Amino acid sequence: MAEQRFTTVSGQEIKPVYAPADVAGKMYEKDLGDPGRYPYTRGIYESMYRGRLWTMRQFAGFGTPEDTNARYHYLLGHGQTGLSVAFDLPTLMGYDCDDPLAEGEVGICGVSVSSLADMEVLFRGITLKDISTSMTINAPAAMALALYVVVAEQQGARPAELRGTIQADILKEYIAQKEWIYPPRPSMRIVTDMIEYCTQEMPLWHPVSVSGYHIREAGSTALQELAFTLADGFAYVEACLERGLDIDAFAPRLSFFFNSHLDFFEEIAKFRAARRIYAKRMKERYGAKDARSMTLRFHTQTAGCTLTAQQPENNIVRTAFQALAGVLGGTQSLHTNSMDETLALPGEKAVKIALRTQQIIAHETGVVNAADPLGGSYFVESLTDTLEAGAEDYFRRIDALGGVIPAIEQGFFQREIADAAYRYQRALDEGEKTVVGVNRFTEADEEVGIPILTISPEVEASQRRRIATVRASRDEGAVASALASLRAAAAGDANVMPPLIACARAYATLGEMCRTLSEVFGVYEEHAAF
């Protein structure tokens, strides 16, 4: 009988056993090093979690700002240490809640935010200078940041006191998630403006979180997630250098966001390879001198695409192993998905179980007691080397196409991900890969035994009433003046963040700010060459 063939989830061949010969003479000796030392393969801090645990976040947002504010207070009361904002689809696309295109979607997949009035309610009772906040929003990220800055200002906090992250990774939108407004080049200008503004005014804030998560959720392999995410990150670095910013002034505040998928050891190796590639590139190509510019800091979220509607309790187990891989891979921040997320927005019990999963890993398993406990494993080091080499090959292919934006315009990333997703789905359909409860170990007449969160139609009506009140009570002259200043900044070469903050103060809506920029930059339509 022929020996069974084993591969990683991404299709990488796995040998029966690994030995010193699999790593000796490669990158192992010179690139392994110690935790907290270049090239940071083993972690960016010497003591890692012995000194400080990762930030425990739960991605939360649904319905009205009042609904989500209540969820934040619930999570903080149960030991969460940072906030993470999920916005609804209209907000992510730059539409106000009363826009005809928003009908039926308001508050459904996240919280509805159309103006400063919504943001004020969202963070009611939460002192922003005392909490780290992450906001997952991209095309209208600059507008969301402006609203956040003004709410903090109302609380008496200066921008320099605020800690957190805004995703603002527009490149991965064109590659994977498809939530864009403007064409790639003006979008890159907006992101660069944000990085420049935060470098000067918000030194504790991460102005961009380069996201591989959505690339992976779209169907990429671990290698593609690694390579495409880092390529995007390097594109932002190069845009800032072209702007004239000093590498060691802005690079310490860049951050990344990775998926933690099913293949336990491949995921750990992916995180380790990412740190090593980043450190080398920042030092050797971009001339970084500050060690903080070479250390890749990242948030991790367990893989939503691996969760199943069938036997949803199994998702608790999947999430636990994926979270453990993130911790063993050295993440700085972690979100654990809830068991019911394939069925609806997470309910309170499911969210609490997801948070408790992180707390059990931190306080009961002992994996935090040593930095990089799997370092030196022949298997893990071999996987790390293989992923690094594969990523470097992708970088060469992207460079040959002219860089990230030309590669997007030619449909390169989109084709690579589509092909990988097809191969993976075919393997599931043919039984080559197993998903428990889906294509093996199934149960007949299965019933969902967990409560499902539903969103009332009253949410949309409530949000429309609030925005009508805002429009009726604000100073329309101040709004028009602020939007005119924004339009002038966009048409010239001034940084758009100060006029956006002025728009937020005047209670201009998110949709009004986005439309003003689209009048200057245009709206993007994809013409990928598939």
Q: How confident is the model at residue 52 (pLDDT cuts 50, 70, 90)?
A: very high
Is the pLDDT at 4 greater than 80, yes or no? no
- The distance from CA 120 to its chain's CA centroid, rounded to whole angstroms, is 24
Is the pLDDT at 451 greater than 60, yes or no? yes
Q: Give the model's pLDDT for residue 58.
A: 74
- How far apart (Å, rounded) are the C-alpha atoms in residues 240 and 189? 9
Greatest alpha-carbon pair distance for the chain in Å reads 81
Give the closest residue to 497 by CA, choosing from 89, 111, 143, 85.
143
Q: Give the model's pLDDT for residue 25.
A: 56
Q: Give the model's pLDDT for residue 448.
A: 63
Q: Quick one: three-class SS letters along 499-515?
A: HHHHHHHCCCCHHHHHH
Q: What percent of the chain has pLDDT over 90?
A: 84
Q: Give the model's pLDDT for residue 346.
A: 84
- The distance from CA 61 to its chain's CA centroid, rounded to whole angstroms, is 15
Q: Which CATH architecture has domain 20-37+53-429?
A: Alpha-Beta Barrel (3.20)
pTM of the model: 0.93
Query: Across-strand partners of 415?
Result: none
Which pLDDT tens digit goes with each residue over 55-96? 888 777 889 999 999 999 988 998 887 888 999 999 999 999
Helix axes 510-521, 141-154, angle to 10 degrees: 140
Which pLDDT tens digit goes with each residue over 26-51? 554 556 889 999 999 999 999 999 98
Which pLDDT tens digit goes with each residue over 398-438? 999 999 999 999 999 999 999 999 999 999 999 999 999 99
Which pLDDT tens digit goes with each residue over 410-420? 999 999 999 99
Tell me the mean pLDDT in the region 135-153. Answer: 97
Mean pLDDT estimate for the chain: 93
User: Which amino acid makes up residue 330?
Assistant: G
* Contact indicator for 344, 452 with CB cutoff of 8 Å: yes
Bond from prior residue into 16 cis (ω within 30 degrees of 0): no
- Residue 33 sits at φ, ψ, to 5 deg, of 65, -160
Q: How confident is the model at residue 321 (pLDDT cuts 50, 70, 90)?
A: very high
The secondary element (H helix, E strand) that includes residue 470 is: helix 458-473
Q: What percent of the chain has pLDDT over 70?
A: 97
121 CB neighbour count, 10 Å cutoff = 19
Q: Could you tell me the sign of the dihedral formed by the alpha carbons of 110, 174, 250, 517, in that order?
A: negative
Which pLDDT tens digit goes with each residue over 180-217? 999 999 999 999 999 999 999 999 999 999 999 999 99
* Contact indicator for 447, 337 with CB cutoff of 8 Å: no
* Contact indicator for 118, 65 with CB cutoff of 8 Å: yes
Q: Give the model's pLDDT for residue 23.
A: 82
